[in-house]
Structure 1
Amino acid sequence: MKRVKASFYSGLIAILPIVITVYIFNWIFQIFLNLLQDSVLTVAIRKIVLQTGLGKEQDLHLYTQILINVLSFVTLILLLIAIGTAMRVFLFKKIGAFLNNLLVKIPLFSQIYSTITQIISLFASDRQKSYQKVVMFEYPRHGIYSIGFMTSDSNHFVEEVTGEEMCNVFLPTSPNPTSGMFIVLKKSEVRVLDLKVDDAIKLIISGGVILPPNNKKEN
């Protein structure tokens, strides 16, 4: 029984990431379809498909429904592109900022909305490019190590006072890496990690649960 249980858990662990990934993609796809299900565009697409004789209103064939869903999804993509293009216009930027400020003021909803918005903006922006290296250093006391991002390998304002080589580091918080502290450290106290910025962000968001693969061991 122990071997059966071990085999069961091994199989579960092996297939679980695939199942969860497929589930998330299916969930997102269903959200997109639900947004368009009763919209004017979807109704128009359904009428066009039905008028071609591919199916009947009372009993739609499977391939007919799939065609409607695909066309609805493509329409949604085009709609998102149109919204993204419109958001670059000054007037629409003002409207977007107004709606964002309105949503942030809603109790309970604002905390979730703000956190998700900040995380998405982190991955979508060029902020990651400003992180030169992933580093670790002893903080908040001796013997405890924290992971941060080096934003500059020098700080001549502080170096003029300390007389030592210093570097700028951003220390993010977990699970929201968009907030944190800016600190200046001695270069001798900072150790550079062989870790990609993207992997370090995932590590911080997960609270240390998602560890990146060790390429050295694999090689």
Structure 2
Amino acid sequence: MSSREKLPPTDVSPPEPAPDTTSHGIMARFRNYFLTGLVVAGPVAITLYLTWWFVTWVDGLVRPFVPIAYRPETYLPFGLPGSGLIVAVVALTLLGFLTANLIGRSLVDLGDRLLGRIPAVRAIYRGLKQVFETLFSGKGSSFRRVGLVEFPSPGMWSIVLISQEPSIDVARSLPGQEDHISVFLPCAPNPTTGFFFYVPKSKVIEVEMSTEDAATLIMSCGVVQPGSNGDPKKAAAALAGVAHAAQIANASLEREPAKVE
């Protein structure tokens, strides 16, 4: 073979450039720091916002009943947030003090009789009064226990808040000989809505969990489990790790050559 003879062409492609890992490292650290700040500042911001909304809402309800001469903005060049809330707390405390004596109890009984004679208001007033007495008296056991109920289908379990036993009339109408219990099944992520139903006691598995932990579990859709330490750095690192793994998987799919049929 002579030196001038041409060699057959070879299908050799140039080497691919190495991926730039510096930019990926900077973006991963930026994402980690951002998620850490979000986990730390998010709950604080939402708590302050809800507190401000509640104070403003109470001020808007109470301020029209306060005479202008007793309002702080009458003597100050600006409004004083929370003044209506202070007035409401003092008024409710004074009302409770007056209700504790004989004259106060007589006035409350008179008001109960008057509201009990109004057909459109009687049912609403009595129902709300029983709810408030049960929740704020400290004597009831409603919604202080957490349980599991097989719902919505066999093999699927839902968190429920255990309430009171049904009344005698309702218990007589329920089928079967087993005792029932009333439960409330909150919906995720809004635990203020849900389902109320009676279920046999044997079908409820009581769980050693506080109602606060149950509400947190429901609102987070299972992301925040009871007993977790809630370390913001660990949570942010876990989120950043998941996002980084997803980014690597997407990059590998983009580099994979498309299959031609």
Scaled by the length of structure 1, the TM-score of the pair is 0.55
Alignment of 1:75 with 2:87, yes or no, is yes
Match of 1:93 in 2: 112
Question: Residues 48-197 of structure 1 correspond to what in structure 2 (within 5 A)?
Answer: 60=76, 66=80, 72-82=84-94, 85=99, 89-93=108-112, 101=121, 123-124=135-136, 129-130=141-142, 133-148=145-160, 149=162, 168-175=180-187, 176=192, 179-186=195-202, 190-197=204-211
Q: Is the 8 A contact 2:185 2:195 kept in 1?
A: yes
State the secondary structure of the residue aligned to 2:141. Answer: helix
CA drift of 1:201 comes to: 5.0
Work out the CA distance in 2 between the residues paired with 1:3 and 1:118.
55
Amino acid at match of 2:211: V
Structure 1: stretches of 5+ with no match in the other structure = 105-113
Match of 1:107 in 2: none
Q: Is the 8 A contact 1:133 1:151 kept in 2?
A: no
Match of 1:15 in 2: 41
Work out the CA distance in 1 between the residues paired with 2:70 and 2:193.
43
Q: Is the 8 A contact 1:132 1:151 kept in 2?
A: no
Amino acid at match of 2:155: G
Change in 2 beyond 3 A, CA 1:211/1:77: same
Q: Is the 8 A contact 1:171 1:183 kept in 2?
A: yes
Alignment of 1:34 with 2:51, yes or no, is no
Work out the CA distance in 1 between the residues paired with 2:131 and 2:47.
19
Amino acid at match of 1:147: I
Amino acid at match of 2:48: V
CA drift of 1:46 comes to: 4.4
State the secondary structure of the residue aligned to 1:89. Answer: helix
Structure 2: stretches of 5+ with no match in the other structure = 1-26, 166-171, 232-261
Q: How many pairs align?
A: 181
Match of 2:28 in 1: 2
CA drift of 1:13 comes to: 1.9
Offset from partner CA, 1:90-125 (integer Å, 9 cap, x none)? 2333566769849x7xxxxxxxxx9x9999787546
Offset from partner CA, 1:149-195 (integer Å, 9 cap, x none)? 3867xxxx9xxx87xxx664433233446851111143xx6533221
Amino acid at match of 1:135: G
Change in 2 beyond 3 A, CA 1:120/1:7: farther
Q: Give aligned-pair identity as a percent.
A: 19
Q: 2:213 aligned to 167, 184, 199, which one?
A: 199
Structure with higher RCO (Cα < 8 A, 6+ apart): 2
CA drift of 1:38 comes to: 4.9
Match of 2:7 in 1: none
Aligned-residue CA RMSD in angstroms?
Answer: 4.8
Change in 2 beyond 3 A, CA 1:126/1:22: same
Amino acid at match of 2:88: L
Match of 1:213 in 2: 226
Work out the CA distance in 2 between the residues paired with 1:217 and 1:39.
44
Change in 2 beyond 3 A, CA 1:210/1:38: farther
State the secondary structure of the residue aligned to 1:147. Answer: strand
CA drift of 1:33 comes to: 2.5
